[in-house]
Amino acid sequence: MTFLAVVEGDAGGWHVDRDALTEAIRARWAEVEIDSSHRSEVRSLIWRFDTEYGPREAYLHEDGTCLYMDVWEEDVIWLAIAFRRLVPMHLCLVFCDEGYTIDVRLPTGTSEAELMALVNAAG
């Protein structure tokens, strides 16, 4: 299942710092393969890494305001929080799955435990 962390509304020209996001991802998975070839609007930068559940990936929309995550639950929560930390406070970030069965706001300063509680309450 694919999850998304996406800026809701007008980002006012903001986009995530790709280097800072790469650094955050490498802090969790030392062995990260980065594919920066522009494959599509949705897959403009791809990070591939091995988890305890096998190979997974995350990829960034070309406008830099949406992170797609094809990872296991604990890793998706961690990635969403890592992305939130790079998003300015004034921007609203939404965490959802591709079918919108989970759709929660992700306020600045949210912890992994708090996001897990929001996801469990929504699901």
Would you say the pTM of this structure is higher than 0.85? yes
Q: What is the pLDDT of residues 66-85, one digit of tens each?
A: 999 999 888 999 999 999 99
In this predicted structure, what is the pLDDT of residue 123?
Answer: 67
Q: Does residue 70 contact residue 79 with C-beta atoms inside 8 Å?
A: no
| Positions in the chain short of pLDDT 70 | 123
- Range(s) of the domain holding residue 96: 3-122
- DSSP alpha helices (H): ranges in 40-111? 73-86
Domain count, the chain: 1
Q: List b or e across 106-121, with b for residues whose CB sees 16 or more CB atoms inside 10 angstroms.
A: beeebeeeebeebbee
